[in-house]
Amino acid sequence: MIKYECEPCGYIYDPAVGDPDAGIDPETAFEDIPDDWTCPICGLGKDVFVPVED
């Protein structure tokens, strides 16, 4: 699965890990995260995330 980076703060969403603190289970694709999810570091929305290559 593709990882996504929050451009403003650099947080990387890794689907293999998910975001357990926000109730996002491991193996959850970025596209399957609810639209109201926000970056756990800076609080911005999904629209500021861009795909990154490993």
3-state secondary structure of 49: strand
Is 42 annotated among the ligand-binding residues? Answer: yes
Is 6 annotated among the ligand-binding residues? Answer: yes
Six token digits for residue 47: 């629209």
Is 23 annotated among the ligand-binding residues? Answer: no
Polymer length in residues for the chain = 54
- Single out the residue of 7, 17, 6, 16 nearest to residue 39, CA to CA: 6
Is 24 annotated among the ligand-binding residues? Answer: no
Specify binding-site residues for Fe cation. 6, 9, 39, 42
Specify binding-site residues. 6, 9, 39, 42
